[in-house]
Amino acid sequence: MTDTQHPIAIGLHGGCGVMAQADLPEAEWTAARADIAVALRAGWDLLCRGASAVDAVEACVVVLEDSPHFNAGHGAALNRDGVHELDAAIMDGASAAAGAVCAAQAIRNPVRAARALMRQGVPMMLAGPAADRFAASVGLALEGQEYFTTPRRLAALRTMRERRAAGTASGATEAEKHGTVGAVALDQDGHLAAATSTGGYTDKPEGRIGDSPVIGAGTYARDGVCAVSCTGQGEFFIRQVAAHEIGARMRYLGENLDTATRTMIETELAPHGIGAGLIAIDRYGRIAAPFNTEGMFRGWMLPDGTMFVATHR
């Protein structure tokens, strides 16, 4: 706990598309957990210095975008044409300001472009080449497509193409298909923020956009209530307006964070039979991270400075 008026806290997820523990050497799990800890520290250190929740979630997500272990930025999924199309969003719970980019192909850190759009105000969201040009115009780093590609993502694309040809794509695991990163934070002024970034799902059609950059679906923050970042098959999160719905359940039904988030994952999304998870924080700095898959990359630092990091159940 800091000696300021409000507690500070931060949480993140690295996607619910987590492989079985036996499918990767322990050294890789260790490296992924280490990057989660680095991301948490990046955001926590800013909060301790009095920075905003928006600053903290951006810094946290940038670390995850730079890591090869997560489906965002470097290490993002490939679409059906073997191209990386990147989505990201960020939202300030204090002002309801937000920014988002969709289907970008060259922005090294899409969450930074989303933040730049949030500062600008209008437009709030840009897609495709326009998003890349905007990032360049404000001095953000651009990369060639090869920067985002990793051997694991190439192997996943081969597997999904084979499954599609064999008619078994629906049987693919979450680890083969999906992945997202996201962060939520509470700052010393009591403000909340959320950010999410993703490469979408492996073998997705060109131009497909999921819930991550859609404000209220995969990313949402409202001061005094909660901040939420979601992970899973985005089409269903969009239909449920999932992140906003959690806040609405808390505001209008009086549900606490744990009940509202679990209801979304275990009840509202359950009929769709999808892998789903999220990270959320309330105005007291309490964290919720429900998921229905074998695992979800996740971690948080609570107001007393305690850090928790995990990959599987």
Cβ–Cβ < 8 Å for 102, 87: yes
Cβ–Cβ < 8 Å for 219, 212: yes
Distance in angstroms (rounded) separating the CA atoms of residues 126 and 132: 9
Helices (H), ranges, the chain: 26-48, 53-66, 110-120, 128-137, 145-148, 151-166, 174-177, 234-240, 242-253, 257-263
Structure token digits, residue 116? 């730049």
Catalytic option among 2, 150, 180, 219: 180
Among this protein's residues, is 180 annotated catalytic? yes
Q: What is the DSSP letter of 265?
A: I
Q: 3-class DSSP state for residue 31?
A: helix
Q: 3-class DSSP state for residue 44?
A: helix
Distance in angstroms (rounded) separating the CA atoms of residues 229 and 185: 11
Cβ–Cβ < 8 Å for 196, 102: no
Distance in angstroms (rounded) separating the CA atoms of residues 36 and 107: 22
The amino acid present at 218, given as its one-letter code, is G
Active site residues: 180
